[in-house]
């Protein structure tokens, strides 16, 4: 459905659905926590369209059963169930047997806010949902969408560690949207087909922690053009927040990015080789500088993270961006770890 490098109109292709359902013998339950929200709804729809998903479990503190009833009428085979805390067995039933759990639960930004301004509300939401994951589906792949991702991923890791079920290969901060944007923006600049662009983006998921490595795709923008491009990738989220004027942040492009990541995990779980996605994971790349999580290209396999790719060659300008990123990330990660230590 979604190629890691491109999305095609084959999302609706009957022939492809038949081919997948023949090959996708395994049962794949996918759960969305926060399914009633701006991201959760279109994400649920895209997952319903994915023939690799056999069961779709939609949980929210409000609204998920309605979304499930609606999405459940789409004529694909997967079974959809909606859950609220006191309905259909609540979060325990929603999570039981899940292979992938996507978490877009939490508040979005309004103009003038940074992602870190969401910490006070979203940290406890992610902590509590992570406790439920630890209890009900500790072996699932966990995809954290809720912001600030640079801190919410460490929060989930700390919760899983406390529960004795932390598997660094199965925890992913979703930074796919940064690559989607970086690829789209360069295609607009150069007049190329965005489907053929796959700009490497590393670091984290907020402002200056987002580092596009344009040189690795053979592009050499310079001066103001380079500065403008980097700024647009780093602050692409703000562009949407401003345009929505208080009604939230990116939801549709994020749903596409989340669905693409889930599709890549399912492909890898079903034996496909060479599936690569960028993701914010427990990473050795900058551990010597105290940065325990970092986003870079990650090869996925049946066990989750199979290989973390090295950063590779960078220009002097990109190195400066990385230095700024690493300094900021360290603080974001420590904030998440400290939160769980002080608020278990």
Ligand X SMILES: O=C([O-])CC(=O)C(=O)O
Ligand Y SMILES: NC(=O)C1=CN([C@@H]2O[C@H](COP(=O)(O)OP(=O)(O)OC[C@H]3O[C@@H](n4cnc5c(N)ncnc54)[C@H](O)[C@@H]3O)[C@@H](O)[C@H]2O)C=CC1
Alpha-carbon dihedral sign for residues 100, 106, 111, 116: negative
Which residues partner with 299 through β-bridges?
A: 276, 307
250 binds ligand X (CB under 6 A): yes
Judged by CB under 6 A, the stretch of 13-21, 60-68, 159-167, 283-291 that binds ligand Y is 60-68
Query: By C-beta, is 211 or 269 nearer to ligand X?
Result: 211
- 274 vs 252: CA distance, rounded Å: 27
Count of CB atoms situated within 10 Å of the CB of 165: 15
Is residue 205 flagged as an active site residue? yes
Site string for ligand X, 122-161 (x = CB under 6 A): -------------------------x--------------
Count of CB atoms situated within 10 Å of the CB of 105: 23
- b/e per residue 107-144 (b: at least 16 CB within 10 A): bbbbeeeebbebbeebbebbbebbbbbbebbbebbbbb
Beta strands 100-103 and 29-33 are parallel
Contact in structure between 170 and 139 (CB atoms under 8 Å)? yes
Query: By C-beta, is 107 or 337 nearer to ligand Y?
Result: 107
- The residues in 62-91 that bind ligand Y, with binding defined as CB under 6 A, are 62-63
Judged by CB under 6 A, the stretch of 33-41, 69-77, 234-242, 311-319 that binds ligand X is 234-242
331 marked among binding-site residues: no
Contacts 24+ apart (CB under 8 A), 227-231: 229/185, 229/186, 229/189, 230/321
Instruction: Strands of 106-246 (E only): list them.
Output: 141-144, 171-173, 200-203, 210-213
- DSSP annotation of 216 reads G
Beta strands 304-308 and 293-301 are antiparallel
Query: By C-beta, is 20 or 119 nearer to ligand X?
Result: 119
Which one among 52, 109, 127, 260 touches ligand X, defined by CB under 6 A?
A: 109
39 marked among binding-site residues: yes
The binder of 48, among ligand Y, ligand X, none, by C-beta within 5 to 8 A per type, is: none
- The residues in 232-291 that bind ligand Y, with binding defined as CB under 6 A, are 248-251, 254
Query: By C-beta, is 127 or 170 nearer to ligand Y?
Result: 127
34 binds ligand Y (CB under 6 A): yes
61 binds ligand Y (CB under 6 A): yes
- Residues making up the annotated binding site for substrate are 109, 115, 147, 181
Residues that bind ligand Y (CB under 6 A): 33-34, 36-40, 59-63, 104-109, 118, 122, 125, 129, 145-147, 149, 174, 177, 205, 248-251, 254
- Residues making up the annotated binding site for NAD(+) are 34-40, 60, 122, 145-147, 254
């Amino acid at each position: 459905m979604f190629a890691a490098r491109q999305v095609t109109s084959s999302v609706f292709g009957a022939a492809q659905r038949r081919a997948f359902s023949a090959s996708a013998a395994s049962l794949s339950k996918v759960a969305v926590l926060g399914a009633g929200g701006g991201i959760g709804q279109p994400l649920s729809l895209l997952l319903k369209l994915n023939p690799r998903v056999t069961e779709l479990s939609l949980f929210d503190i409000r609204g998920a059963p309605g979304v499930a009833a609606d999405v459940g009428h789409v004529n694909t085979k997967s079974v959809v169930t909606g859950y609220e805390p006191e309905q259909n067995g609540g979060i325990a039933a929603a999570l039981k047997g899940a292979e992938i759990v996507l978490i877009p639960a939490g508040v979005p930004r309004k103009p003038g806010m940074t992602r870190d301004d969401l910490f006070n509300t979203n940290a406890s939401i992610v902590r509590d949902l992570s406790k439920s994951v630890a209890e009900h589906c500790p072996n699932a792949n966990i995809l954290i969408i809720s912001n600030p991702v640079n801190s919410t991923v460490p929060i989930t890791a700390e919760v899983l560690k406390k529960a004795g079920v932390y598997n660094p290969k199965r925890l992913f901060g979703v930074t796919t949207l940064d690559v989607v944007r970086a690829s789209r923006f360069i295609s607009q600049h150069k007049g190329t087909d965005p489907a053929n662009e796959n700009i490497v983006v590393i670091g984290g998921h907020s402002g200056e922690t987002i580092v596009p490595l344009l040189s690795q795709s053979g592009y050499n923008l310079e001066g103001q053009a380079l500065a403008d491009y980097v700024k647009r990738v780093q602050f692409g989220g703000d562009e949407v927040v401003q345009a929505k004027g208080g009604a939230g942040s990116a939801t549709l492009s994020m749903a596409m990015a989340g669905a693409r990541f889930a599709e890549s995990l399912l492909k890898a779980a079903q034996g496909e080789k060479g599936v690569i996605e960028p993701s914010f994971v427990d990473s050795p790349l900058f551990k010597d500088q105290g940065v325990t999580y970092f986003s870079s290209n990650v090869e996925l396999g049946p066990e989750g993270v199979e290989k973390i790719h090295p950063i590779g060659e960078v220009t002097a300008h990109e190195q400066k961006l990385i230095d700024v990123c690493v300094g900021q990330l360290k603080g974001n990660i420590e904030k998440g770890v400290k939160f769980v230590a002080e608020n278990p």
